[in-house]
Amino acid sequence: MVDGAGLVGGPELFGREFSADPYPAYAWLREHAPVYWARLPSGVSAWLVTRYGDARRALADPRLSKSPRGLWVGEHASGRVGIPGERGAGVMTHLLNLDPPDHTRLRRLVSRAFTPRRVAEFEPRVRELADRLVDGFGGRGGADLIEEFAFPLPIFAICDLLGVPEGDQGDFLRWAGMMLHTEGKRGGVGRAVKRMRGYLGELIHRKRSDLGDDLISGLIRASDGGEQLSEEEAAAMAFILLFAGFETTVNLIGNGVLALLRHPGELARLREAVVAGDEGLLASGVEELLRFDGPVELATWRFAAEPLSLGGVRIGRGDPVLVVLAAADRDPERFRDPDRLDVGRGDGGHLGYGHGIHYCVGAPLARVEARVALGVLLRRLGGLRLGVDVGELRWRGGLIMRGLRSLPVRFAPEQVTERQ
**What confidence tens digit (pLDDT) does each residue in 378-391 have?**
999 999 999 999 99
Q: Is the pLDDT of residue 71 over 80?
A: no
Q: Predicted confidence band at 307 (pLDDT cuts at 50, 70, 90)?
A: very high
The counts of H helices and E strands in the chain are 17, 12
CA angle 37–42–45, rounded 5-degree value: 20
Q: Is the pLDDT of residue 317 over 80?
A: yes
Q: Each residue of 114-164: pLDDT tens digit?
A: 778 888 888 999 999 999 999 999 999 999 999 999 999 999 998 998 889
Q: Is the pLDDT of residue 262 over 60?
A: yes
* pLDDT at site 182: 54
Would you say 369 and 216 are in contact if contact means Cβ atoms under 8 Å apart?
no
- Give the number of other CB atoms < 10 A from CB of residue 308: 17
Percent of the chain topping pLDDT 90: 49
- Rounded CA-CA distance 417/394 in Å is 30
Instruction: Map out the domains of the chain with their CATH numbers.
Output: 16-415 (1.10.630.10)
Cα distances (angstroms) measured from residue 15 to each of 6, 9, 355, 389, 390: 10, 17, 28, 20, 17
From 192, 191, 184, select the one nearest 155 (Cα to Cα): 192
pTM: 0.89
Give the ranges where 168-297 is alpha helix by DSSP (H): 169-181, 186-207, 215-221, 231-261, 264-275, 279-293
Q: Is the pLDDT of residue 347 over 90?
A: no
* pLDDT at site 67: 76
- Rounded CA-CA distance 195/179 in Å is 11
Q: What is the mean pLDDT of residues 347-366?
A: 86
Q: Predicted confidence band at 69 (pLDDT cuts at 50, 70, 90)?
A: low
Q: Is the pLDDT of residue 18 over 50?
A: yes
- Give the number of other CB atoms < 10 A from CB of residue 70: 10
Q: Is 411 exposed, middle or buried (0-12, 13-18, 19+ CB in 10 A)?
A: buried
- Give the number of other CB atoms < 10 A from CB of residue 375: 23
Q: Is the pLDDT of residue 313 over 90?
A: yes
Q: Predicted confidence band at 29 (pLDDT cuts at 50, 70, 90)?
A: very high
Q: Is the pLDDT of residue 264 over 80?
A: yes
What is the sign of the dihedral through the CA atoms of 118, 119, 120 and 123? positive
What's the mean pLDDT when you consider all of the chain? 85
* pLDDT at site 3: 40
Q: Which of 10-14, 100-104, 278-282, 331-335 has the highest mean pLDDT?
A: 331-335
Contacts 24+ apart (CB under 8 A), 67-70: 67/97, 67/98, 67/99, 67/303, 68/301, 68/303, 68/320
* pLDDT at site 420: 77
DSSP 5: T
Higher pLDDT pick, 212 / 79: 212
- Give the number of other CB atoms < 10 A from CB of residue 199: 18
What distance, in Å, lies between the first and last C-alpha atoms of the chain? 57
Instruction: Please name the residues in contact with 17: beta carbons below 8 A apart, sequence gap of 6 or more.
Output: none
Higher pLDDT pick, 364 / 69: 364
* pLDDT at site 78: 45
Q: What is the mean pLDDT of residues 10-39?
A: 92
Cross-strand bridge partners of residue 408: 144
- Give the number of other CB atoms < 10 A from CB of residue 233: 19
* pLDDT at site 80: 54
Q: Each residue of 205-227: pLDDT tens digit?
A: 888 888 888 888 888 887 655 66
Would you say 289 and 257 are in contact if contact means Cβ atoms under 8 Å apart?
no
Higher pLDDT pick, 301 / 187: 301
Q: Predicted confidence band at 91 (pLDDT cuts at 50, 70, 90)?
A: very low
The gap from C-alpha 384 to its chain's centroid, in whole angstroms, comes to 25
DSSP 286: H
Q: Is the pLDDT of residue 284 over 60?
A: yes
- Rounded CA-CA distance 61/218 in Å is 31
* pLDDT at site 187: 56
